[in-house]
Amino acid sequence: MSQREEILARVSTISALPTSATQMLALANNPDAQIEDVQRTVEYDPGLVTNLLRLANSAYFGTGGAINSVREAVVRLGFKRVFQIAMTSAVAPIAQKEIRGYDLPRNGLLRHSAATALAVEYLPKRLSMRVPDATYTAGLLHDLGKIVLGTYLEINSAPIVIKAYRESISFEIAEQMVLGTDHAEVGAALLEYWKLPQVVIDSVRWHHDPNKYPHEDKTVVDLVHLGEHVARICGTSSSTDGMNYSVCVESLDRLRVVPDVLELVASDVLGSLEEICSIFN
Amino acid sequence: MQLTVGISEMKVSTDPKDTLITYSLGSCIGVALFDPGAGVGGLIHCMLPLSRLDPDKAKKNPQMFTDTGVPALIQTLLDRGGTRKRMIAKVAGAASPLNDNGMFKIGERNYVVLRKVLWKNEILIAAEDVGGTVARTMSLHISNGKTTIRSGGKESEL
């Protein structure tokens, strides 16, 4: 078995998604799902109820008035938002942990994940585009491969760091050269194991190289790619990989991005990030 | 006491027991300003170069932008007994992604705007660790003005 195969095989040893998140994924694929089904799923998980009510009343997810019950949250926010909150609530405890292999302190990956999830929604708004449904989830989950590599496998990042910085090559390419795989491929394998939608899995898989995304419509992967760069502008890089990544020029062209837009999105993200992160602290 | 300076924040102290620290300086710019005569020091973490991008946000939070944040830092030190002549400025950050095609030149622009603000205030940059693709953590010790940079697991004095 190659090192790559060994690493990818380890994905199945990682804790499963909480039952409520798995049930929400099933409801997302069920056209007959009713409000009561969503309400029951949320109420089954007391942690999710708490997080749903907090996030439903935040400036970013909220709708203005106070939301006091799960039913009210489901009715007023709609399934898409409740689904996003369930995913955030499910991954927060995992993403909050310190990741030694990437020198990420406690809450480091959660901040980066939340900043990217916010950026991929603010960016299309600033470009007057519709926000595709899967974008938030793909942005939120894009770097979970780092947990597998940096925590469960405790990779020694030193040879990767040396290669990336000395040879000026994008960090994920240095990972491929040293490990035979990278955090994007490992993250996609984890999401496949968790049975996330294919568009989310593929966007995570190719978030550093959107041109290889195997579908014609590259909107979601382009947004995740650029959203992650914006998240780095917002000071959520780890000290291991820093900003040592390439920018896909074609993503900028496809989305018709102009420089001011990226700065505006960074300021939007910063305005919501603390509130979202503080809910989980 | 260790005081953390968040993104688009600044902190100023005269307590020799304090250390000001800011994490994850990527394209953002960190400025440590210290007046040894008055024993006052401050640290700021600015995200974007120019406040004209969004004047409303700049009004609410001047520290978000280099052109409004750094003058605010200088003024706060002056208010706490500092003088421009004695102020020692140390700078870190202003990194960029690898193949920056102009769209992500935020780090470089942050640095250019900073130099202009300091030049206008007749404050020289005593030391700097800027550019490249790395993320940096910057600390300022109020007891002696010592400024340290941590990057890639290594710490060094600036």
Q: Thinking of the domain B2-157, which architecture would CATH place it in?
A: 2-Layer Sandwich (3.30)
The predicted structure's pLDDT at residue B100: 67
Q: Rounded to an integer, what distance in angstroms lies between the CA atom of residue A240 and that of residue A150?
A: 11
CB contact under 8 A, B106 and A236: no
Q: Kindly state whether A281 is in contact with chain B, defined as any CB-CB distance less than 8 angstroms.
A: no
In chain A, what residues touch B64 (CB-CB under 8 Å)?
A: 267, 270
Q: Kindly state whether A232 is in contact with chain B, defined as any CB-CB distance less than 8 angstroms.
A: yes
Distance from CA of A260 to the nearest CA of B (A): 7
In chain A, what residues touch B106 (CB-CB under 8 Å)?
A: 233, 262-263, 266
Q: What are the distances in angstroms from CA A129 to CA A84, A122, A163, A217? A: 19, 10, 39, 14
Q: Sketch out chain A's domains with CATH numbers.
A: 3-279 (1.10.3210.10)
B106-116 pLDDT, tens digit per residue, is: 999 999 999 99
Closest CB from A246, A249, A270 relative to B7: A270
Q: What are the distances in angstroms from CA B132 to CA B25, B26, B92, B105? A: 12, 9, 11, 12
| Full 3-state SS string of chain B | CEEECCCCEEEEECCCCCEEEEEEECCCEEEEEEECCCCEEEEEEECECCHHHCHHHHHHCHHHEHHHHHHHHHHHHHHCCCCHHHCEEEEEECCCCCCCCCCCCHHHHHHHHHHHHHHHCCCCEEEEEECCCCCEEEEEECCCCCEEEEECCEEEEC
**A104: confidence class by pLDDT, cuts 50, 70, 90:** confident
* Other Cβ atoms closer than 10 A to B116: 14
CB contact under 8 A, A262 and B106: yes
B136-145 pLDDT, tens digit per residue, is: 999 999 999 9
Q: How far apart are the first and last CA of chain B?
A: 21
- C-alpha angle B57-B3-A232 in degrees, rounded to nearest 5: 50
DSSP for residue A17 = P
Average pLDDT, chain A: 92
B8 Cβ contact partners less than 8 Å away, ≥ 6 residues apart = A270, B45, B46, B47, B61, B63, B64, B69
Average pLDDT, chain B: 95
B74 Cβ contact partners less than 8 Å away, ≥ 6 residues apart = B33, B84, B87, B121, B123
CB contact under 8 A, A263 and B101: no
Beta-bridge mates of residue B125: B89
B57 Cβ contact partners less than 8 Å away, ≥ 6 residues apart = A267, A271, B51, B64
User: What element of type H or E holds A27?
Assistant: helix A19-28
Strand-pair category, B136-141 with B147-151: antiparallel
The predicted structure's pLDDT at residue A103: 84
A129-177 pLDDT, tens digit per residue, is: 998 889 999 999 999 999 989 887 677 888 999 999 999 999 999 999 9
Q: What is the pTM of this model?
A: 0.95
Domain coordinates of chain B in residue numbers? 2-157
The reply to whether ipTM tops 0.85 is yes
Mutate to test the interface with A, among B104, B108, B130 (most CBs of A within 10 A): B104
CB contact under 8 A, B103 and A247: yes
A45-99 pLDDT, tens digit per residue, is: 999 999 999 999 999 998 888 999 999 999 999 999 999 999 999 999 989 999 9
Let me know: does A239 contact B155? Beta carbons within 8 Å: no
In chain A, what residues touch B57 (CB-CB under 8 Å)?
A: 267, 271
CB contact under 8 A, B134 and A239: yes
Q: Kindly state whether A247 is in contact with chain B, defined as any CB-CB distance less than 8 angstroms.
A: yes
CB contact under 8 A, B47 and A165: no
- SS3 breakdown of chain A: % helix, strand, coil, rounded to 5? 65, 0, 35
